[in-house]
Structure 1
Amino acid sequence: MSRFQNKQELFSFGVFGEEVRKKLCPLRASIDILEGEYFFLCYLESRQEHFQEEAYTINWYKETAGKQQLIKETRRIVSQMNFLEFWPAELSDSGNYSVIHSNGKQNVTIQKWTLNVLERNKSSCFNENHLTTEIKSAGVGHSLKCNDLSVYENDSIAWYKDCKNYEHETERELNFRSLTVQNSGIYTCKILINHEGTIYHSTNTIKLVVEEDAPEAFTLEIVGHHEEIETEIGKEEILNCTGFLGNYMKEDASLYWLINQTFPEQCTGIPENEPSICEEELKKLQLGKKFYITRLLRIKKVRDEDMHHNFTCMLQADESTRIKIVKLKKGKTQDLPVHIFTTGMVLALLFPFVAVALVFVFVIFRVDFILFYRSICRRDDTAGDGKEYDAFVSYLKDCVSPIEEEREFALKILPMILEENFGYKLCIFERDVFAGGAFVDDIHSFIDKSRRLIIILSQNYVSDRAIYELESGLHKALVERKTKIILIEYMPISDYNFLPESLSLLPSKRVVKWKKDKSLPVNSRFWKNLRYLMPAKPIKIKTREHYNNLDLGSEAAQPWNEGCGFNAIV
């Protein structure tokens, strides 16, 4: 009896515990392996019992030239039930694999994988792209574990450190009672497997870093909790899942979506060929010293059956798994009701020229229409959300070459218009925060209390504190999804290289440009666009006659705080 059959019997008849079977067949969308090594794909059949009362066949497929081709068993590639084995894997094995159950009438795709076969490093015993990193503190006990590609005790095991035989260790775990800095190195576990008279091997490489004062331990968390998203039939939805990895990027961390335990298709980037539901490529983010990975799930048009699906995001690393479940539910229409657009479409069919004119007018005056709609309905997005401020204002606070007009705009003009004329409540650090507090805690606290973060950008927006406020806001906007950012381009900016790269992920429609005298009147396009981006709130007007004739150079227009921002307060 072959080794494969032994494993199949043990697997099928439950000799392995559930945890062991999960380690043998982890739910992974993408897998990296080395050429010339033994490897197998497998799945947990108990998760997918589609034909419990009927006979069915199991077939393995590989995608070739965009088409699925049935894998024919050879001496090197063996397929049977839950397993597909490679004796050994070759570079040409890279590609997309799937396993399908069929009862003759219906085909059900059980699971999909993307297999990447990496080229072996001819001058080393490992490949830099095929190792995991573990950072530990000196003085603690630790174990390095070999992989689970072999399940038999008689398989030979050898350990290597930096490609040299390590103390003749032959156990599956390499134990350290008390780590020292000298234990740092690259450890490779090599399993020798005897199959039909030929010796094959499989390796697992771990980079161990031992530090006297190790940084914060590796963290594996999904940002946010299980949630329900209000939507409507026919609407496009983009689901975001972000994994937090702590202070360093874990190379073997994976993040992917499942739809009722089934992998979605990959987005093609070609709109006409895009699947109705598809998964974007994995993206890596670094905000300050924190590392994240994120992946989007695009739903082209929400269907009624989508309201009953579980959209599950799975984050995996170091044999740990975190999940987040997102569900869709029918919600209320916001801003403009759908029937207005439906009526517009009917008019477009009956009266083409009138419809084109209406669409043109709506595009030009869209912001005016929405502000009018909010005013008529007296919408209030601020009620009951627990926030204290409508917006936190961040602007240049550098004593080196200060620009008085910019400080004047932030400390006088902006609050005068938004607070006194439209009833908003702003948090301006120099005006509203008492001296003596902890700067970092204050920034986080006041941004948390605010519904928006208004950032006044100019060529001089370079102070450490201003950049910190920007990164804090980006973290809450892109990752925590708690605070929306509004960028005011106070002066034309030709080079954005000094700003965080993640700023490019913000929608361009959230940028408002200040055009000096042209933007000053309270009914200018600048203030309308700014109010559109602010949360809807019933207007509480306090009459002032000089909004349209502000004197930027008068003494009355001087900021309340005469110091240089951070230096004057802290």
Structure 2
Amino acid sequence: MPLMIFLLMFIIGSATEKLCPLRASIDILEGEYFFLCFPESMQERFQKAEYTINWYKENAGKQKLIKETHRIVSQMNFLEFWPAELSDSGNYSVTRSDGKQNFTIQQWTLNVLERNKSSCFNENHLTTEIKNAGSGHSLKCNDLSVNENDSITWYKDCKNYQNKTERELDFKTLTIQHSGIYTCKILITHEGKIFHSTSTIHLVVEEDAPEAVTLEIVGLDEEVETQIGKEEILNCTGFLGYFVPEDASLYWSINHTFPEKCSGIPENEPSICEEEFKKLHIGNKFYVTRLLRIKKVTEEDMHRNFTCMLQDDEGTRIKVVKLKKGNTQDLPVHMFTTGMVLPVIFLCVAVIVVVVCVTFRVDLVLFYRIICRRDDTAGDGKEYDAFVSYLKDCVSPSEEEREFALNILPMILEENFGYKLCIFERDVSPGGAVVDDIHSFIDKSRRLIIILSQNYISDRAIYELESGLHKALVERKTKIILIEYMPISDYNFLPESLSLLPSQRVVKWKKDKSLPVNSRFWKNLRYLMPAKPTKSNTKGRYNNLDLGSKGVQPWTGGCDFNAVL
């Protein structure tokens, strides 16, 4: 009887050894049955009553004891998931305790992958096998069965494959047509419910056999220049060949001791920690890489051997990395940051200054004139600051334009800002030659103000306009200011030479909105007028026109051109 028990335990132990691959990182699919386990020796099985086994999962950097539920069951040296969920991803460990001390038996990183809703497999949950055409081959189902009679179904490219239900899919002679993605699905019955587990293999059949490769670490032993107190990240990459061996592992050791795992929380990271390894698929070749993070290099680190180890059933390859002090000091982080931030700030300030200057150009110029008491009129021999030209015939539909020219304009510019205007009706003595007088007075003026309206062109206004245009465009003695008194949609009635004037020399009158002395209209008009020191007397808003001031008489009607002369 003891012999039978021994044989039974040996068989179970052998099966357990086969079912428990020593992989540090395991990928599984959500919604499937899975288990973690560790192989026990025969001696450990007979001594099982003398110690207890506890399973732990890392939570916020701390190990938390796993409590059994209807879904997660701990049985002997197995931790079963009925089924696995996305929240089960994490770091697991199993310990053995004899009541005095705990001993960590094994550690895993479990990655639960999200199921592909549009396919029967997940591209991140498959292995690749490359074989030569003409040879025989067998695809093995990843055996997670509980009972021998569990149902097994094979699929090729997500379609039932010839009603195959064996645990191994045998090909006597491989052909190119056998290439494809094969999925083995196992149905498992547990407590009256049906669960399933799948494994997927990408079979690539080539005409010629791929070149024979062996696992190797990329690169040779090296020395890395660094500085005390600097963060350093060491990288190790291993070449796996044309498929990913399940028994291959890549890890770091420091003077024959293993570093802690990085937690992903910067403030809780140990001074030296090892990140999870990552798989890379470049072309048809597979690589695996793992980083070793040194938070701050110490003097002691300069004398350590940082060894990267790539291990499989054929042996171990190593690469040794040493640190040495560099000759040059890297630019401090704060200086580099300052050097990057300051130009950006200066650029932003320059853009803001340009925008402000463009937007408030008129206000800034007027403020500058007041502060500096600039005078553009001194010593130029001119008598008037501006000659005012406007519609004088009876074709005007209202008297508003005439009132603006004879009363509002001179009252604001002359009484408030000290300008001297030349208005024909007011300042020219009758009896002279009209054309000669116009030329003479325009020549004595620094600006020609033209009050434009649709009916502007008349017998005398045309002389004023043409004379002013000649002096502005040909002689370059007088600058023209256009006041658009009424909205004008078509300027075809004006001389073509007027289009040569800059557009910024047009000021638009907007009736009540333009009446206040500090409105945008008067600021724009003063900006175009010559600079001269004045004592501003702004009254806020133009009301109660004193039409009799400065000898200006209210217009009482009448259209006799000769009467004015």
TM-score (normalizing by structure 2): 0.46
* Structure (1 or 2) with the larger CA radius of gyration: 2
